[in-house]
A and B are shown apart, each in its own frame.
Chain A
């Protein structure tokens, strides 16, 4: 099959950029360890408390070391359970100091949900039967809206929270 000279140039240039591009994302993935959220750990969606992290008293923010936090959360239509405040009311805002490393851990009790801290790289699917987990360094100050970004029913848009970095 004959290829025009210009077409060869065009394809060689295109394929060259493609190869370079794939090498860069491969390098980022396997040498730098930057993979998308892909945690592999299952759980019974009808009994999430069987896993210690999702027992009611362990939900919400915990400081595990200097500047290192874990946030355990349970998603259900149409709410994120971030644990309770000292006065017993449901926590709506997670507050962490700037520069801290936060491990977000979440699972669903019912249907598929999303969990995105808008304005950061924290963005994961939340599926019944699976635990999603993503660690991020909160580099910028501000209030970030947490949104459910996968359709979960007619109250989907009422499922939200806040992460405040101070």
Chain B
């Protein structure tokens, strides 16, 4: 397998995405800390800052900015490593970076001045300042430019390597970007065609249910867009770190194809308690949602099979010897491993959330917040950290020293402890009916509310521990970017076994897989969308005052 060395120019491009990632981590993390403190009831924000400004910042900066910048930067590096990048492609990479950054700055400016306290879901008919929507649209457009560059990179490589299968990681990046483009078309249409003209006053009313449906058409693949880069690391990078080989190239590709197909026609499971949508179509999308169980089980099997095979090849014969001898003291392994473990309760919670009926018990309660702090904020983010420990020094020509490795292990433990406390208490409070997305409130008082508040205090404890973890992670990042000793840090990419089975050609038939994906989307959405549009109520005029705009 051929791996390309990064030029200085290339490394600079990939690093620029990482700077934004870690600045976002610090800013968004601080907001998270403040939220948990406010919700404990023992602290009020200074300078008349509104809770929902902080909440919007937290969601947008961590959910949209940190993730998108990290993913696109990491994926560019994967493409550069496995299929190479031309000077022209680097130039377009910079264009995507700047378009996304300008969009981010515009949106952030509006949020921080209180003109866009609409949370990261920006549900109409709450109206933010038009510049907020323009900023969001630019972030999406920038990400599309990155996607086109990635597609072009693979295409150029394929032309030069006729008849060869594409490198696994390049294939995975392409899947993720295809999913992203198909999904974000929905939200882009909603923002640019429906919301922006309405926010500018050119159109009087907006169809609320339609914008929500388009948002969730995008909103679920969005979470897979976060997850797939973590899967890339689990399938194709962790095996190298633990000294093993790829488990199965075909299995990895098949599981990514299934994730592509079943990522989009599923948005209704976020809208289960919503009026105006036929419950039969909700049920159909619930069934499609659960198809994700298949690639998930394949992934779990493949990861543990890699662990065991690697251990056995190293000579650990006893029943669990292979497990005990995994490189626990290597943070490049430990952080993603804890991420994998968190995905077990995280996934189980997801099954509950997407269940047709049980959803009503947890919908919009803080249980949901607890759920995605296990999945995105533990599984995904610890894997991203696990990647950063080698990616940053590889890009800056430095080394992950034993001391920094140790700090990383401490960081991972702090994160695990903090998140266990915070997420568990969120889950319990949610089961008791405590709502999400809410400032501290004693409501009408009584036992129920008193119990909620007691869990909010433990969330503040967990949140404080997590913030310590964030500061430590940012410190490690600064060290790896500017101060660690110069040297060479490996970019780990797992290889196939010499005698591995040939990967079937059909797995690279893009027309087929994208065709099925689109067919599934049309099946799941056409009729309910026609219903929503045909039976739409009088539209909604914009509302500014509820979010404090005059």
Contact = CB atoms under 8 A, between A and B. Distances in A.
Interface stretch (A30-38, A58-66, A83-91, A95-103): A30-38
B294 interface: yes
A35 B356 contact: yes
Given A40-B535, A156-B52, A124 B356 contact: no
A28 B356 contact: yes
Contacts of B290: 18, 21-22
A41 B536 CA distance: 9
B276 A25 contact: no
B355 A154 contact: no
Contact of A36 (B124, B359, B535): B359
A115 B52 CA distance: 20
B432 A118 contact: yes
B435 interface: yes
Given A45-B537, A77-B546, A153-B547, A25 B356 contact: yes
Contact of B355 (A11, A25, A131, A133): A25
A153 B357 contact: no
Interface in A113-160: 114, 116, 118-119, 121, 123-133, 143-145, 147-158, 160
A1 B504 contact: yes
Most B-side CB within 10 Å, residue of A34, A156, A158: A156
B543 A77 contact: yes
A96 to B, nearest CB: 16
A145 B444 contact: yes
A115 to B, nearest CB: 9
A111 to B, nearest CB: 5
Interface stretch (B316-324, B360-368, B470-478): B360-368
A40 B282 CA distance: 13
Nearest to B118: A151
Contacts of A161: 444
B532 to A, nearest CB: 10
Given A2-B501, A10-B301, A22-B287, A143 B275 contact: no
A63 B343 CA distance: 48
B537 A130 contact: yes
B301 A125 contact: no
A110 interface: yes
Interface in B504-550: 504, 535-541, 543, 545-548
Nearest to A151: B437
A51 to B, nearest CB: 11
A114 B540 contact: no
A37 B355 CA distance: 13
B448 to A, nearest CB: 5
Interface string B321-335: 000000000000000
Nearest to A14: B297
B252 to A, nearest CB: 11
B119 interface: yes
A153 B476 CA distance: 38
A154 B544 CA distance: 11
Most B-side CB within 10 Å, residue of A7, A15, A41, A111: A111
Most B-side CB within 10 Å, residue of A15, A41, A130, A152: A130
Contact of A118 (B209, B298, B448): B448
Contact of A132 (B275, B279, B294): B275
Interface stretch (B4-12, B266-274, B373-381, B486-494): B266-274
Nearest to B123: A112
Interface in B272-290: 272-279, 282-283, 286-287, 290
Closest 4 CB pairs of A and B: A118-B433, A153-B546, A129-B537, A42-B537
27 contacts: A14-B297, A15-B293, A26-B283, A37-B274, A45-B537, A111-B540, A112-B124, A116-B364, A118-B432, A127-B274, A127-B276, A128-B537, A130-B276, A131-B275, A132-B275, A144-B448, A145-B444, A145-B448, A149-B365, A149-B436, A150-B437, A151-B123, A152-B126, A154-B51, A154-B52, A156-B52, A162-B446
Interface of B: 50-52, 117, 119, 123-126, 208-209, 212, 248, 250-251, 254, 271-279, 282-283, 286-287, 290, 293-294, 297-298, 301, 305, 351, 355-357, 359-361, 363-365, 432-441, 443-444, 446-449, 501, 504, 535-541, 543, 545-548
